[in-house]
Structure 1
Amino acid sequence: MIYRKLHKDQHCEARTGQIHLPHGNVDTPVFMPVGTNASVKAVRLEDLFSMGVQLILGNTYHLYLRPGMDVIQKFGGLHGFNNWNGNILTDSGGYQVFSLAPFRKVTNEGVEFRSHIDGSKHFLTPEKVVGIQEILNSDIQMVLDVCTEPGISHKSAREALEITTSWALRAKNSWETTTETYQGKLFGIVQGNFYEDLRARSAEELSALDLPGYAIGGLSVGEPFDQFQHYLAFTAPLLPGGKPRYLMGVGTPEYILEAIEHGIDMFDCVFPTRVARNGTLFTDHGRLVLKNQRYEYDTRPVSEHSPTAAYSRSYLRHLFKAGEMLGPMLASLHNLWFLKKLVEDSRRAIHENRFLEFKRSFLDLYSMGIPD
């Protein structure tokens, strides 16, 4: 058992806990910075470690294609390659195959695709993806799954679900034969598109595999927020309560708080660093767009407690206007700090049985907009 629940809020499903992993314990709820190519864009890993980040992401698809497994194996895994001493979760690459590959063909055996880098042909099976993530020495590895876009038919969603379930079983069988020196944990991914019966079936079939943890896939993919809320509230209770629960691709305060309320422990997204590189920063009063002229003479920091507190909004705006790389670096660090603080404040509120009150007051302030 890798998960220990510490406390559940008396008024909702929000909970705190710890995930026990090879590179240390992870306090939950937790937001995980995304380091797709073994690097969190524009942020030094040592700065994240100093900030107390315990878990980051890498991506199997990208790392498999570049630099390649022979390079990473030379370093004994991803930790040695990028010199990160904390935990690493690696996505299976399924989403990238379906979103980036110019050609792909799914069969019961696996998925054939062409690299978006050089057009070379590749074939991934559930077993191969487990083996790749063993070479990466992932602390948490994800099963290969079939991602589906909103709006597909029930029949197409069911067929994708059936392949996902069969692949998860094959991944489990392969993972159980990995070397004794590899201690990483395997998580399954619930699919089913926007069909309740398929979501319930996926959760039931994957739960029967008794994997160390479970993720919810196929949400936050462009659907309206009320639809996201509905399917999150429907799916979350179907996951085993004694295992970590991971909602994939969620990275804004509204979505994170909604997930926490429904008992989700883990979330990740590229959004916080992506918008930071364009000069948008999270604040208690909403998103601050540094390029706006109103900040040209603004002597205040974005936040007095941020790692960027030494710099004024005016100076940060200048960095972006001048095209200085320091601007995206500082903005990215700030946004990751902001979300880390948000989940820490959420943990504290859960322990005090006041999460719903905290969520409501946070979102009320967040929706007000940046004051003059």
Structure 2
Amino acid sequence: MFTFQLQHTDPKSAARAGRIETAHGEIQTPIFMPVGTLGTVKGVHQRELESDIRAQIILGNTYHLYLRPGLEILENAGGLHGFNGWKRPMLTDSGGYQVYSLSAQRKIDEEGVTFRSHIDGSSHTFTPERAIDIQRIIGADIIMAFDECPPYPCDYEYAKNSMELTHRWLDRCVKRMAETGGKYGYEQTLFPIVQGSTYPDLRRKSAETIAAAGQPGNAIGGLSVGEPAEAMYETTDQVCHILPKDKPRYLMGVGTPENILECIALGVDMFDCVLPTRNARHGMLYTSEGIINIKNAKWKDDFSPVDASNPCYASQQYSKAYLRHLMHTKELLGPQIASLHNLSFYLWLVGEARQHIIDGDFASWKEEMVKRVQRRL
């Protein structure tokens, strides 16, 4: 089962609050989805994801899970839900972006993509049909259509050809979905992906094509790959005006707290990004008052909580001085605390956005919050 109910809209922006229902539970939007590329959100227990971070949905990655642990193990476990013990909704990327990142080791043609494993150099081929079959075995509630993510910048002709290939691949993904069923007794839902780089006419055509595909939800890809933030916002705004209002919109791989707030205001419902955990491992903490580099000397004798306003246990239990000590001594607990904190902040941020949409004052709250989250403390 997959349904989306639009519950509230902001009177002064395109921000929306909604509710997605999947076979593994409910998702309240707007939502941020922690990234669990290899079947785990790095350094975070499933219990912490539920109780401290309050994640409602997490991501897995088709490319990485296909290589390790492999499809046989995943299928024997009953899919990724059975393998990693996460009982709530999951989404999987099709692997298109990861194959894109292997640009020196891949070959793209009409049939699909042939690439070499980053692990052992072995050769593999992903077709649209194969990407669907793999995601059927992984068992995520929401699976992504196989696409090509063009580099930025790229010339118009490349972007156009890439977009048209993505559209032809989408037809094959839809057909394969109809030919197959979920392996574990519940429905899986396909999201197509809008491409077209930052060329307005290509993005318009792609958004119209994806909307016409009639799938239960839609994604916006090919952004947050190096383009200026303003280009991201302009493209997102354009696409959101075309994609159906009665279906969730997922902006892939975005981004910073201010990116998320601005794109919620443009009508996006779902986000994912590796930034909160990746930056946490390097000592960058996101808070409601700004950004902290916990490795800086100014925190060495600051015994106040990491962030007293963050509802996460780790943010309130440990001091800035203690976390700085852990990071400098390379204790494993340091990146764990920082990851818990950052993910909790991201979920808190989208939760606050949702509440302000419901209350009708999102636009003014967002303007003030964007200023705050950009500050360097």
Please say if 1:177 is aligned against 2:179.
yes
SS at match of 1:231: helix
Counterpart in the other structure of 1:26: 27
Please say if 1:275 is aligned against 2:279.
yes
SS at match of 2:313: coil
Distance (whole Å) between structure 2 residues aligned to residue 328 and residue 282 of structure 1 = 14
Please say if 1:317 is aligned against 2:317.
no
Which residue, 313, 318, 337 being the options, matches 1:307?
A: 313
Unaligned runs of 5+ in 1: none
Give the CA deviation at 1:179.
2.3
Counterpart in the other structure of 1:205: 209
Which residue, 347, 350, 368 being the options, matches 2:357?
A: 350
Distance (whole Å) between structure 2 residues aligned to residue 129 and residue 365 of structure 1 = 41
| Residue identity in the other structure for 1:307 | Y
Give the CA deviation at 1:112.
0.7
Which residue, 351, 366, 369 being the options, matches 1:359?
A: 366
Give the CA deviation at 1:365.
2.5
Counterpart in the other structure of 1:247: 251
Aligned residue pairs, count: 370
SS at match of 2:17: strand
Unaligned runs of 5+ in 2: none
SS at match of 2:241: helix
Asked if 2 retains the 8 angstrom alpha-carbon contact of 1:134 and 1:182, the reply is no
Asked if 2 retains the 8 angstrom alpha-carbon contact of 1:158 and 1:192, the reply is yes
Asked if 2 retains the 8 angstrom alpha-carbon contact of 1:112 and 1:121, the reply is yes
SS at match of 1:3: strand
Distance (whole Å) between structure 2 residues aligned to residue 367 and residue 90 of structure 1 = 30
Give the CA deviation at 1:220.
1.4
Counterpart in the other structure of 1:71: 73
Counterpart in the other structure of 2:346: 339
Residues 108 and 203 (structure 1), Cα distance of their counterparts in 2 relative to 1, 3 Å cut: same
SS at match of 1:70: helix
Distance (whole Å) between structure 1 residues aligned to residue 282 and residue 127 of structure 2 = 37
Distance (whole Å) between structure 2 residues aligned to residue 68 and residue 366 of structure 1 = 40
Correspondence 1:123-272 to 2 at 5 A: 123-179=125-181, 181-272=185-276
- The TM-score normalised by the length of structure 1 is 0.97
Asked if 2 retains the 8 angstrom alpha-carbon contact of 1:89 and 1:139, the reply is yes
> RMSD value over aligned CA atoms?
1.2
SS at match of 1:238: coil
Counterpart in the other structure of 2:56: 54
- The TM-score normalised by the length of structure 2 is 0.96
Q: Which runs of 4+ in 1 moved over 6 A?
A: none
Asked if 1 retains the 8 angstrom alpha-carbon contact of 2:291 and 2:375, the reply is no
Distance (whole Å) between structure 2 residues aligned to residue 69 and residue 54 of structure 1 = 25
Give the CA deviation at 1:251.
2.6
Asked if 1 retains the 8 angstrom alpha-carbon contact of 2:23 and 2:186, the reply is no
Distance (whole Å) between structure 2 residues aligned to residue 283 and residue 338 of structure 1 = 7
Give the CA deviation at 1:201.
0.7
Distance (whole Å) between structure 2 residues aligned to residue 107 and residue 365 of structure 1 = 46
